[in-house]
Structure 1
Amino acid sequence: MAEAVILIVEDEALAGMELSETLQRFGYRVPTVLKRGEDVPEAIVVHKPDLILMDIRLKGFQDGIETAYMIGGEFDVPFIFLSAYSDDETLNRALETRAYGYLVKPFEEKTLHTTLELALRRSREYRDREKDDWYKRALARFPRPVFLTDSYGRISYANESAKLNLPSGGDGKVGTALHMFFTEPAAITDLLVESAAARSANPSTSKQLTFKGADKQAHLEVNPFKDEAGKATGFVVLVCVED
């Protein structure tokens, strides 16, 4: 997995430098340390951070909470607050921003690392769900049968066209193995393995198969979803049914 990029917003120079060194020791990349909230939007555009670690008390016209509102209105970047204050008023203001975390100074390195990792994981999971929902909305209107499967070929989604073309008794239920609907189950496995192993820019693979229990031929085209390490985490299977 690529190293996460974390932007630090801290108006105390020494604290910002120490925090940057700590994060880099954890394996994160810290492109810059900002002192003012007003400088955050430009830094987001330039550095494209995965997370922002921001003190609540800042120099300039905006404190960290006001900056968080500005970020939320313009960018989709998660953030964690740092503060030497834990009074109810500050906490309540921070909670209203939907921050991914709140660390009260001083804090232990282990606590910092755990908080960062949890926030990054939560952000990745949210973006994966958003991407998955987008695919499903787009595929629902697609005229050709389409299946989404996990890395083992188990169905995670079937659009209406796919369900209509399945053999009698098949409903495309989540968790059902895709090969159950074809007379050559081993060929489905081979197709997925071949697609997962493809290293080209367009790793599409295809095969002609027959629906089980139906006199229908189908041309399957498979494209893998791959993570940052290049490992297939699932597949898009487009089906062209031949009358």
Structure 2
Amino acid sequence: MNDERKKILIVEDEFITAMDLAENLEFMGFSVAATTDTAEEVLSLALEHSPDLILMDINLKGEMTGIEASNLIKNNLDIPIIFLTGQSDDVTISKAIESEPFGYLIKPFDDRSLKTSIAMALYKHSVEQKIKSSELRYRTIAESSDNLIAILDADFKFEYINNAGLSLLQTIPDRVIGSSISDYISSPFADEIVQEIHTVIQLNEKRHVQGQLVIKDQEMWIDSTLIPLNPDCSDHSQILWIANDITDSIRLQNKLNEEGIIQIEKNMEQFQILNDEIRNPLSIIATCVSLDEPPSGPQILKAVKRIDDIVTQLDKGWIISNKVRTFLLRHYQHGKLL
């Protein structure tokens, strides 16, 4: 039968205190993984027993203190630590707090305080693990996106940016993190983005802005969405910036406008035919893969979906073309009715 009790590693240089502590922990329903009186053994014991929590005395035998051992654990393992000490002076407490423990108990302490501190430390650690898992999940999603996804602080400095954003801004992480958005973008539209960020922070609402940017003398059009991330935290406001490069779409629209309504009608007719010629074979391929289930089936279906998404994007261009055609027919009587 598996022991599901939480395992605790005791680091205490007083033999009687360590034995009494171990007995009390067992009575409370915990399992004592191991006991040691020197900080030098903490890391090896933690690696060997994988405890759920460490009770660490600050003053130990040997050259290393409990605080130094705690920092060593924190740099190598994800295990919550509660400090035990008979000292309550400001210097000791200050040093202990700097190492960010999950609890701090001053001797002598009673069993209730010990049990409460352990329960709180285990709960806090569990919450932090869930947050880290959530952050990793969202980071994975962001890195798989083709759009720029970045987090900016209230001073317009980058705190995070995904690979697509690095490619768009033509930079690397070491350079962009901590730098301002104005260091990479220069144009009147860049000033508009900065102004919109002010509005997002002040009004706590999502904003949408579209315009032309100049990045390293390269002109491009982007469609941006700015979203407040933590509006209730006035000390550290953050903005989520999502930007899509729509340069090709804008150029296509401009080209269609220049060519006139007659060319638009021809393009629309050609696209309707091309749409069917692309989607019909795609449908056949997807059906065959689903029936035969070859080893490379998932990769084939992924490629099919990608092509289908591209055609869908072209559909949007078709809709825009139709709107332009309708406007010109209504106001300028250009072209002919289909």
What does residue range 95-174 of structure 1 map to in structure 2 within 5 Å? Answer: 95-141=97-143
The offset of 1:61, in angstroms, is 1.1
CA distance, structure 2, for counterparts of residue 113 and residue 60 of structure 1: 28
Residue 70 in structure 1 maps to residue 68 in structure 2: no
Who is 1:56 aligned against? 58
The offset of 1:50, in angstroms, is 1.3
The offset of 1:136, in angstroms, is 2.1
TM-score, normalised relative to structure 1: 0.57
CA distance, structure 1, for counterparts of residue 122 and residue 73 of structure 2: 17
Q: Once the two structures are superposed, what CA deviation does each residue of 1:46-104 show, in whole Å capped at 9, x if it has no partner? A: 11111110111101111111111222222221101001110111111111100111100
CA distance, structure 2, for counterparts of residue 24 and residue 124 of structure 1: 22
Who is 1:34 aligned against? 36
Residue 93 in structure 1 maps to residue 102 in structure 2: no
- 3-state secondary structure, aligned to 2:32: coil
1:57–1:2 distance in 2 versus 1, CA, 3 Å = same
Who is 1:13 aligned against? 15
The offset of 1:2, in angstroms, is 3.2
CA distance, structure 2, for counterparts of residue 19 and residue 10 of structure 1: 9
- 3-state secondary structure, aligned to 1:32: strand
* % identical equivalent positions: 38
Ranked by relative contact order (alpha carbons within 8 Å, sequence separation 6 or more), the top structure is 1
Who is 1:189 aligned against? none
CA distance, structure 1, for counterparts of residue 139 and residue 78 of structure 2: 21
- Matched to 2:71, the amino acid is Y
CA distance, structure 2, for counterparts of residue 44 and residue 107 of structure 1: 25
Higher strand proportion (structure 1 or 2): 1
- Matched to 2:134, the amino acid is D
The offset of 1:117, in angstroms, is 0.2
RMSD between superposed Cα atoms in Å: 2.1
Higher helix proportion (structure 1 or 2): 2
- 3-state secondary structure, aligned to 1:125: helix
CA distance, structure 2, for counterparts of residue 25 and residue 135 of structure 1: 39
Larger Rg: 2
- 3-state secondary structure, aligned to 2:31: coil
**Number of residue equivalences:** 147
1:74–1:141 distance in 2 versus 1, CA, 3 Å = closer
CA distance, structure 1, for counterparts of residue 74 and residue 143 of structure 2: 31
CA distance, structure 1, for counterparts of residue 69 and residue 101 of structure 2: 12
- Matched to 2:124, the amino acid is R
CA distance, structure 2, for counterparts of residue 31 and residue 75 of structure 1: 16
The offset of 1:142, in angstroms, is 5.1
- 3-state secondary structure, aligned to 1:82: strand
- Matched to 1:137, the amino acid is R
Unaligned ranges ≥5, structure 2:
146-304, 309-338
Unaligned ranges ≥5, structure 1:
144-240
- 3-state secondary structure, aligned to 1:107: coil
- Matched to 1:72, the amino acid is K
The offset of 1:141, in angstroms, is 4.7
